[in-house]
Structure formats: structure tokens, C-alpha cells
A and B are shown apart, each in its own frame.
Chain A
Amino acid sequence: MTELTLLRDKHIKYIESLDNKKDDYEYWLSEHLRLNGVYWGLTALCIMDSKDTFKKDEVIEFVMSCWDLKRGGFGPFPRHDSHLLTTLSAVQILATYDSLSVLEKDDKLELCVQFIVGNQLPDGSFQGDRFGEVDTRFVYTALNALSILGKLTPEVVDPAVQYILKCYNFDGGFGLFPGAESHAAQAFTCLGALKIANRLDALTASQIEETGWWLSERQLPDGGLNGRPSKLPDVCYSWWVLSSLAIIGKLDWIDYEGLKEFILEAQDDVKGGISDRPNNEVDVYHTIFGLAGLSLMGFYDLIPIDPTYCMPTSVTATFKKYPYIGK
């Protein structure tokens, strides 16, 4: 058996090829994920130290073409409606390119902040857009984007933190809603939101130990991680679980070697990219989260990734830390 290794060049080629698939029906069916896809692809390239694979000007032009003139914020594709999820992707891409200044034109920065803040509900939660879907994903998305833009305020942060705490469960995990079952991706969004708010201290040491325990039990005998008990492993949890453990300072509560093997086995050694599980179809979502997991564990000299923002630490180091002191 040949020893598995990271197929870096193939993954770069795979990500590069994603925009050349306009003859595939699937490309058009996934328009609603395009901007997220660009963020995933760009961040994956950054981790592999190959940021220049994408043409910066073209990407920024595409991002700005997704601006929602009617409501502010960004949609996933030109003419699509804005949503918190895609607004975060836009802000992340612009920050990664050190190009947030493009928002200064036509008051876009102000409108973008208004769009995000305008989706906060009285109980501190956020809806994804005006149609009222509530999920801790959106609290994270909102706080993350506002943090990158340097526009967090106690009026937004304090109720949001209270809401997140209501989603803490008996098993140490977090759900998408108060009373909802723990899910590893929700652990990431809730811990990430608390970290951005600089309020991890709202959880006691023993609560955090319970969180660490529940997260560490996501690792299965084959090394892969699942998102909930008795579910199959999936490469994307290499990110949701690991980043959560990293945020609470317990990254080494799972076995790195086992997880590394699981991620590497999910690579497509012909066309590049990483899939959810070995021998399944690859996509850019699992590619970024597999790579980000490997980076967090310190394998292959990958570029360090920030577990809270899922962006290179060199980028996040420039963000203003909340609470803002002085002016």
C-alpha cells in the first residue's frame, strides 16, 4: 500500500477548474451557492499558499456584482436576493484581498451593516433574511461579518450572546435554536460567536469541559468525525469539530493521525478535490474543510488558519478586536 499524502497540486487545479464548468448543468443548479463557493475556493487556495491562482480583480468584480441594490447586503449570484450567509462570504473574500475599501463607494459599508443589524430579532437571534428563518448559524454569520467590518456594538453583541447561551445543551453541545439537538456545526457557530464577542467566559470551565468531551466523542474508530452521535463520519466535520476544539483550547482531545488518514483517503487522486467520505464525489466545500482541518492540526506546512473565522491568521490578525477600546 502506498502511503497517502496531500495532493496539493491536484487540489489547486481542481479549484481552478471550478469556473470552467459552465457546460455542466450542475454549475447552473448551484448558482445559489456561488459566492460561498468562491470564498471556499479562495480560502482553500490561501491554505495551500496559492492565493494568486484566482485573479483578484475578477473575483472582486464578481463579488460586487452580487450586491443587492434593493436591500443591501450580498446575494450568492448577480440578481439573487441578499442573505446573511452570502453577505459574510462577500465580506470574507474582500477582507482576504485586503479590499474592504471597495465598500466605501455609494455608502455600501453603511448599507451592509444596516442589512446585517436589521436582521437581528428582539431576543438577540438573527434571521437569515426578511422571511424569518432563525438559526445560530446566522448569529455567527452576523457577528463575524460585523467583526470583520469593525462594526460590532454592545447593542448587537450582548443580546446575541444571551441567545447563544440559551442554545447550550445538557451534553455540552449547541443546537441551532434553544432546545434543539446538539450538532457539531452549531458548536462551531456558537463558540465562534462567543469568541468574536470576547465572551467565552460566559461559559464555566466545567461547561467547556463538557463541550470538549462531547466534541471528542465525534471521532469514530476509522479516524473520521461525525456531527452527531451514531451518524456517519464526514470530512466537513474535520472543520466544525476541530475548530470548536481549537476555540476552547482542546484541539488535541482527538487523534490527529487517524483524522489525517481519513481526510487523505477522501481525496480524488485523479481530478483533485476532497469528498465527504472516501470514494464519494468531491466538491469545493469538503475540499476547503478537509484542508482547513489539516492546517489546524499542523500537517504539511499549510498556511495557518484561524479557527474562529476560517480565514488565514495573517488576515484575521488585522481585525479590530472586540470590545473596541478607545476610538
Chain B
Amino acid sequence: MHGIKRQQYSREILKQKRIQDQQKIKTYKDLTHSALDTRDKGIFTTDALQLTSKILELNPEFNTIWNYRRDIILTVTNDVKPDFWENELQFTMEKLKRFPKVYWIWNHRIWVLDNYPNATDKIWLRELFVVDKLLSMDARNYHGWHYRRLIVKKLESINGKLMDKEELKYVTTIINKNISNYSAWHQRVQLITNIFNKHELNKKEMKDMVLSEISYITNAIYTDADDQSVWFYTNWFIANDIVRLVLTNDEYIKMLKDIKDNVILINNDDVEFSGKENNWCLKILIVIEKTLKEAGYELDKDEHTEEYLKKLIDNDPQRRNRYIYLSTKQ
């Protein structure tokens, strides 16, 4: 059970609850037995479908009943009314609204779409709006993001057209709404990687994109220097193949030094403001120094990794053993 407040029932309340539960248990068990008996008799009819609806209404996690429902649908599919599949989507939507984290419901919805007769791109495009809506209610819903990727992939294959650039606009909007949305930053990595790997841009566009990404990151770290989303993204961005390919080595070193200067500035601001260094700044400075060295840049006296690690051992004691490990590797 997740997020349910603990209650200690008194004997009296427990007695009351048990009395109320008796009827509910009877109804539920009768329905369940009836459905499983019908299934075992090999009955796959619209009446049996109604029975599964009733049970799933009470328990949307009953996957055996979802399975029976799908077997019924496959059997009656030629005899159903035209609006049957729309109703089935509606049925799962009602459930998803109430239980947005139940795997079985998401799974059933995808199955319905995959089996929807003569599904055009319109059906899948509408699904993109549906998932928009669901993500606007919970912008980190793990299932929702996974679902979105599946829908986009499907649309891309139906229309023979990549959607990475449009999707990048979407995640930018989401990040601009809330810079701590790690799911959106994650998706940003996927999309930018796709755009480059699938050669969706010409040389100049690629360079423009990398340069605008650098300023996007810089803005983001100034906006919230305590949030790990943007730092993990930065950690990826500064050392990934795309940036290395698009920038000359001199440009690459300049980019790293610019980011480094900005991170040092942010950290100094924190020291001035709160008297404490910003642990994330220190963690990323270590990565930047390492990356600079790998790019052939001599840090010499400007190298402070050892000092940063010492500070982190004291300032971030939960993870001190990681910093000790990194020190011994120096």
C-alpha cells in the first residue's frame, strides 16, 4: 500500500467494518466465481463481458479477469456494434483516471489500440492528446511517459515520419513549466540522441542546436542549482558523442570552460548567500575537470578535484564513501 494513512481500529469500529465487509465479500466472491465458472465452460459472450466489467469495476488489478475479457473480445469481435471499441477505450479511461498507476489497465489500453479494427492514425493521434491530459495531472507518471513513447513510435511507423523535433518542443514546454521534471529531462536526452543518430538535421542546424542547448543548460542551472535533474542532464551533455562531433576540440574546450566558470559563479553565490558550498556544483566541477583533461586541456594549477572531493566528504556525508573511492582513484 502506498501513501495510505495508518489507522488503528478500535474493537468496536473493527466489528462494524467486518459486518459491512460481509456483504461486499459475498458480492465479490459470487461475481468472481461466476466469471471463472463461465470462463471454464468456454463461454465467450457479451453477457460474460458485462460480468468482467462488474468485477474490474471493483478490482481493476484482477489480471485474470482482464485476460478473460480480452479472450471474449477476440471471440465476439465480428458481432459487436461499431462503437464497441470506442466504449472499450472509454472503459479503460475511467479506470485510468481512478488508478493511474495500475500496470494492468495501461496494458489493456495498449492492447485495445493494437487490436482496434482499421485503426487510422487519427485514433493514435487522439491518444497523444489523451496522454497529454494524463501527464498534465501527474507530470512524472512513469506509465504515462512510457505510454507516450509507445504512441509516438506507432504514429511514426504509420505516417512514415519521425516526430523527434515536435516531441522536443513538447518536453521543452514541460521543462519550462517545472525545471525539476526529471522525466522530461530524460526524454530530452532520448530525443536529442535520436535527432542526431537519425540525421534529422544538417550540419549547421546541428551546431545551432548544440549551441542553443548550452545556453539552455546554463539558464537552467542558474534557475535551480539544487535540483539534480539539470545536473544529471549536464553530466550527460558535456561528455556525449554528439557534442564532441559537432564542436571542434577548441570549441569543445571553450564550452567546458564556460560552463565551469558559470558553475563556480553559482557556487560562490551560494557561499555568499548561505555560507555553504553547493554540493552539486562541486560534483559537476569534478566531472568538468576530468572531461577537460580528457579533451587534452592542461589544468595544472587550476585543478581542484582533490579539494572538491575533500569538501564533499565533509559536506555530503551520506555519500562520503563514493568520494573516498573517487579520491583513491586520483
Nearest CB in chain A to that of B186: its residue? A181
Interface residue stretch chosen among B19-27, B86-94, B206-214, B268-276: B19-27
CB of B6 within 8 A of CB of A281, answer: yes
CB of A29 within 8 A of CB of B103, answer: no
Nearest CB in chain A to that of B320: its residue? A255
Q: Which residues of B contact A283 (CB under 8 A)?
A: 1
0/1 string, B1-20, CB within 8 A of A gives 1:
11111111000000001100
If A81-B63, A271-B8, A280-B4 touch, whether A228 touches B58 (CB-CB below 8 Å) is no
Nearest CB in chain B to that of A234: its residue? B2
Select one of A29, A32, A214 contacting B58, CB under 8 A. A29
Select one of A23, A28, A31, A32 contacting B18, CB under 8 A. A23
Cβ of A270 under 8 Å from chain B = yes
Cβ of A238 under 8 Å from chain B = no
If A32-B61, A32-B63, A132-B111 touch, whether A24 touches B318 (CB-CB below 8 Å) is no
A79 to B22, CA, bound (A): 23
CB of B107 within 8 A of CB of A276, answer: no
Nearest CB in chain B to that of A232: its residue? B3
CB of A28 within 8 A of CB of B232, answer: no
Nearest CB in chain A to that of B190: its residue? A179
Cβ of A217 under 8 Å from chain B = yes
CB of B8 within 8 A of CB of A270, answer: yes
Distance in angstroms from B41 CB to nearest chain A CB is: 13
If A216-B322, A217-B228 touch, whether A28 touches B236 (CB-CB below 8 Å) is no
If A79-B36, A181-B183, A229-B229 touch, whether A253 touches B7 (CB-CB below 8 Å) is no
Nearest CB in chain B to that of A205: its residue? B329
- A-facing residues in B258-293 (Cβ within 8 Å): none
A133 to B67, CA, bound (A): 12
Q: Which residues of A contact B149 (CB under 8 A)?
A: 177, 179-180
Chain B residues within 8 Å of chain A by Cβ, number: 58
CB of B67 within 8 A of CB of A131, answer: yes
0/1 string, A223-262, CB within 8 A of B gives 1:
1000011110010000000000000001011110010000
Q: Which residues of B contact A180 (CB under 8 A)?
A: 142, 145-146, 149
CB of B227 within 8 A of CB of A252, answer: no
CB of B1 within 8 A of CB of A212, answer: no
0/1 string, B217-238, CB within 8 A of A gives 1:
0000000000111001001100
A190 to B232, CA, bound (A): 20
Q: Which residues of B contact A176 (CB under 8 A)?
A: 142, 146
Nearest CB in chain B to that of A86: its residue? B63
Cβ of B308 under 8 Å from chain A = no
- B-facing residues in A250-292 (Cβ within 8 Å): 250, 252-255, 258, 268, 270-271, 275-277, 279-283, 285-286
CB of B70 within 8 A of CB of A131, answer: yes
CB of A214 within 8 A of CB of B145, answer: no
A131 to B105, CA, bound (A): 12
CB of B63 within 8 A of CB of A24, answer: no
CB of B25 within 8 A of CB of A181, answer: no
CB of A253 within 8 A of CB of B4, answer: no
Cβ of A11 under 8 Å from chain B = no
If A181-B145, A217-B228 touch, whether A25 touches B28 (CB-CB below 8 Å) is yes
Nearest CB in chain A to that of B329: its residue? A209
Q: Tell me the A residues contacting B by CB distance below 8 Å.
A: 23-25, 28-29, 31-33, 75, 79-81, 83, 129, 131-133, 169-171, 176-177, 179-183, 212-214, 216-217, 219, 223, 228-231, 234, 250, 252-255, 258, 268, 270-271, 275-277, 279-283, 285-286
Q: Tell me the B residues contacting A by CB distance below 8 Å.
A: 1-8, 17-18, 21-22, 24-25, 28-29, 32, 36, 40, 58-59, 61-64, 66-67, 70, 103, 107, 111, 114, 140, 142, 145-146, 149, 180-183, 186-187, 189-190, 227-229, 232, 235-236, 240, 317-319, 321-322, 325
Other 12 A-B pairs with CB < 8 A, given A132-B111, A180-B149, A277-B3: A25-B24, A32-B61, A79-B40, A177-B146, A177-B149, A181-B146, A250-B321, A255-B317, A268-B6, A270-B8, A279-B6, A281-B6
